Amino acid sequence: MSFSNLKKSSSLGNLTQKLIQQVEKDNKGSGGGADERLWKPVMDKSGNGYAVIRFLPAPNGEDLPWVKTFSHAFQGPGGWYIENSLTTIGQQDPIGELNRELWNTGNESDKDTVRKQKRKLSYYANIYVVKDPANPQNEGGVFLYKFGKKIFDKIMDAMQPEYEDETPINPFDFWQGANFKLKLAKVAGYWNYDKSEFAATSALLDDDDALEAIWNKEYSLQELVAPDKFKSYDELKKRLDYVLGNKKAKAVEAEETEYDSYSSTEQSRVSEEDALKKLEQQIIQSNSAPQTSTNDDEDDAMSYFSKLADM
């Protein structure tokens, strides 16, 4: 799609319906170093955070302005299991199979294990940073933003408002979208986004050339869910067996030793920030384990890692 065609299609019509249909379809279905493409909000010492961002249209050549991913992150007798889930790309995943087996026993202790090992849901989208008081150097930049179900629900609420006096918008539109005021607070130890909201509808910039330049800076979203971003079923099964202590201890490959560094001794030596950073460096993709799971599956991925850091 050319930039001129993108502007011609700027409306709630077919594009918004297409996005909504994709969400409905998703609802029916089912590592590396620090990534400098990723933007994250920052919480101040008082436990609050604020920024203004703009969700951007789909990158050139891609259909949707977001991708949906699943991952697992939990600790077993053999260390940490922090892996992208093959269910993201529609394939069978060993931990998913194990969780279904455990859940179907009907045993409450097995269900508790499943909840601990459940999938973590995350979304990725391109954003333009309008205001970032904690890191003003990010303002005017294009980044990838990883967020959880709560923020995604706010996006869907904007596209499909509940009340008649509310006008639906396409938050991903350059001209008829709206800035997102991200308001962050810490509630019961978790990052909370309940007060976040969309501003009034407006064009991001009153300059199509500048908008096209922003569009051309967007990162591929499909690249994040390419098959080569996932380990094979056999590799994941081997790691899972090791973490759960199902096999005799063996020498672990260099990349696996990072998981085991989170012993109680190590955690007593590193700061909460360092622990969180190490965890996030090993996973680029973070609703439930089985479909019968609880509302716990709606936990924001960032809050989940924050809680890990507090352990």
* CATH of residue 68: 3.90.198.10
Q: CA-to-CA distance for 291 and 282, rounded, in angstroms?
A: 26
Q: Which residue has the higher pLDDT, 32 or 241?
A: 241
Closest Cα to residue 305, out of 288, 281, 289? Answer: 281
Q: Which residues span the domain enclosing 230? A: 3-310
Each residue of 18-42: pLDDT tens digit? 666 666 555 544 444 568 899 999 9
Residue recorded with tokens 């269900």: 111
Long-range Cβ pairs for the range 211-218 (8 Å, 24+): 211/3, 211/174, 212/3, 214/56, 214/128, 214/142, 215/3, 215/6, 215/56, 215/57, 215/59, 215/60, 215/174, 216/60, 217/142, 218/56, 218/57, 218/59, 218/60, 218/126, 218/142
Q: CA-to-CA distance for 153 and 129, rounded, in angstroms?
A: 20
Q: Does residue 278 surpass a pLDDT of 60?
A: no
CA distances from 240 to 74, 94, 259, 264 (A): 10, 8, 12, 21
Residue type, 262: Y
* pLDDT band at 304; cut points 50, 70, 90: very low
Per the structure, how many domains does the chain have? 1
Specify the pTM.
Answer: 0.72
